[in-house]
Structures are given as C-alpha cells and as structure tokens.
Amino acid sequence: MKVVALTGLALLALAGCRQTAGTSDEQTQGPEITAKTATPNATPVVQPSIAPAVDLTPYIGKYPFDVVEGHRFLDNPVVKAAIAASVPDAKVRAVVRYKDGELGIPIKRVKGGRLLMWGGENHAEDYRNWAVVLAPDGSEPEVCIYGGLGYDEDFQSSQWFEPGTPSLMKQGKCPSDAEDYPAVPIAAG
C-alpha cells in the first residue's frame, strides 16, 4: 500500500515540474504523464513471478544433437547461460559447441547427480575435446576444455572453468564417463 501511495506522489511531483519558460511540454519532458493515485482502501494486486523449474534430466541418455523439449542440449537457454557464466571469454567459449560431424556421446549422470556432456573435434577428439558438467537444474556449472596439452598420458592437463573463479588446470583430458569425473587437480611437488 505504501509503495502505491509513494509511486503516486512521485508521479504527481514529476508532473508539477514539467514545464520551463519558453519551451513546449513535449520538448522538455516528453509526452505528459498522468498520475492516478490509489484510493486509501485499494489493495494492490501482486502478481507472483515464479519461474518454472528447470529439469535437464530428460537429456540423460540422449546425444548432444538430440532435441528435447525443443532444444538440443547446448542450445537450451539454461545451459547456454551456465556455459557463458563459467567461460566469460567468447573466444574460449566458442570451443564448446556441437556441429554436425563432431563427436558426442550420450549425456550421462555422474557423481552428485550432475549431468555430463562430452564432445570432441572430429578426427582430433584425442587432442581437442570438452565437457560440460552441471546440476539437473542448470546450476553449479563446470566447463572443461582440453586442447592437446601434453600428449603423453602422464602430462595431460585440461582447463576447468567455473563461474566467478579463475580457471584451473586439472589432470587428464575432459571426462567422458562417470568414472572420469571429478577430475583430479594437478598436485605440485
């Protein structure tokens, strides 16, 4: 009730200050705004703004190119936003894609009930691959990018991104199966 009354008073104050000498209303303040004040007995109507819950579990067992509820996995707005939050640099983020002809395996559930999607460049998946891991509601995203760093098994490392934190190098290529996740941090020694 207070918000409605204060809004009405603010609009009235703006309407009273709208004209200066020698200029028209339209030039100085734009079109006239008419304020309607609420009656003291009026009850404001509040519309709930509840966003529909997101559930990415229907993608489990599907390939990256399969359409689920109108979107391929990487085209889903929630997934796109999660990847963008994790990897703010658009050039780096451009690696995480699925184009026709590239490799992809079915999306899997991994530790903690999270979803894992893996992809790799066709004919070069051992050198260039990536993974997206996130909660079924699209939260807590992790993005892994492997760009052929260290071909020898003992020296392979991938770059991991999470929202709001610097990227981190971890051992091995990006995970493609539940047994490969979570990746092991590189231990300095």
Residue 19 has pLDDT above 50, yes or no: no
Residue type at 156?
Q
116-166 confidence digits (pLDDT tens): 999 988 767 777 899 999 999 999 999 999 987 555 666 678 999 999 999
pTM of the model: 0.69
Query: How far apart are the C-alpha atoms of 186 and 74, rounded to whole Å?
Result: 28
Query: How far apart are the C-alpha atoms of 19 and 86, rounded to whole Å?
Result: 50
Lowest mean pLDDT among 9-13, 19-23, 97-101, 167-171: 9-13
Query: How far apart are the C-alpha atoms of 23 and 67, rounded to whole Å?
Result: 59
Q: Using alpha carbons, select from 122, 130, 62, 60 the residue that is nearest to residue 92.
A: 130
At a CB cut-off of 8 Å and minimum separation 6, what does 8 contact?
35, 36, 37, 38
